[in-house]
Copies of this chain bind each other. A is one copy, B any other.
């Protein structure tokens, strides 16, 4: 077993992946294994009884959105009667930020890795404030979701079709040169996305008022490109998955209760441990006492070598998550210690255009005692509230230790 060689193969596949945004489609029509009684969620598998507040809120909201229930109690009853199943997005080629709930009627972005041929999916980004992904499900949250599904998505879909797709690897690379790290700061990427879409939207010629609303919504949401970027990172990480003997981490994801990882050479098995509360800056009126443990599939960005791993590219992010620009630089430098390669496409100007650290090597994490860094939003722990801050978190070391034990058993080392 040449582990180093296996890891090189995995990381080279990750970097060779070229995720292209191909369009939008309805989840039930395009996501493999999606069905009308299924809701997808962020992170590793979890049963309803163990689900955290924001995940519960998002599940309730999705059932209201689908018209499956008329109120919170009705939604909960449906789940408790077993009429609705919950499965990880990751089991269906999908990713979703925070609660990450994707329901059958939702329009999703379709990304294709044109190098290796596989497809990935993500839902639409709702912006900041009271939103489903943070577990909010009030009337205004649902109204916005319906507008996004019925008006925004068709316009975006038609525009992406007219553009014949959007190369997301190029977009991410450019955004990293414009102060984004691609997870918690997507200001530049979202504007690059808008720049590409706007002329195509004009050619698609939607009704005047919808047209202005769509451009305003995209332009004013500095996270608008987050979900396509996550699907792109999922496509890259999936390309690295399943390499026999590789100790490269190919998934990191949290459901608000557990943090889970999967490893390239260990198949589809999850290694999990309790999720931690992030440290960061809280919005006025909130504190860490309000915070839910870390949640969301957005850690796929760090898995693919951006996000906190590219913090050195995004010194301005510290106004949002705390710390100093020097901390941002150090975050990236530290991640070189536990990764297998420097990215051939994603580079950091401030580090002399050094490639971002990419391909978390399980062995290095355990040997050096350095867990991956993650940038994240912070959800309120109660269902229906929403975002209360943003900050930094790390997965528990015990996951990596357990993964190394599992690896030793699997490969009989």
A interface list, Cβ under 8 A from B: 177-179, 187-188, 191-192, 194-196, 198-200, 202-203, 205, 208, 211-213, 215-216, 219-220, 315-316, 318-319, 324-326, 349-353
Contact = CB atoms under 8 A, between A and B. Distances in A.
A212 B211 CA distance: 12
A360 B30 CA distance: 60
Per assembly, the copies of the chain total 2
Contacts of A191: 188, 191-192, 194-195
Interface of A is mostly: helix
A310 B220 CA distance: 26
A368 to B, nearest CB: 27
A363 B309 CA distance: 45
Given A199-B216, A202-B212, 9 more contacts: A178-B187, A191-B192, A191-B194, A196-B219, A199-B219, A200-B212, A316-B349, A325-B349, A326-B352
A213 B199 CA distance: 7
A211 to B, nearest CB: 4
Contacts of A212: 199-200, 202-203
Contacts of A220: 195
A202 B191 CA distance: 17
A184 to B, nearest CB: 14
Instruction: List 6 A-B pairs, minimum CB-CB distance, nearest first.
Output: A315-B349, A191-B191, A195-B219, A202-B212, A199-B216, A177-B316
A199 B217 CA distance: 9
Given A199-B219, A208-B205, A350 B178 contact: no
Contacts of A187: 178
A203 to B, nearest CB: 5
10 contacts: A178-B178, A178-B187, A191-B194, A191-B195, A199-B216, A200-B212, A202-B202, A202-B211, A316-B349, A350-B350
Contacts of A319: 353
Contacts of A208: 202-203, 205
Nearest to A213: B199
A84 B90 CA distance: 70
A161 to B, nearest CB: 15
Nearest to A179: B178
A191 B197 CA distance: 12
Contacts of A194: 191, 194-195, 198
A47 B349 CA distance: 43
A220 B192 CA distance: 10
Contacts of A316: 177-178, 349
A318 B347 CA distance: 14
A412 to B, nearest CB: 47
B349 A179 contact: yes
A214 to B, nearest CB: 8
Contacts of A216: 199
Contacts of A349: 179, 315-316, 318, 325
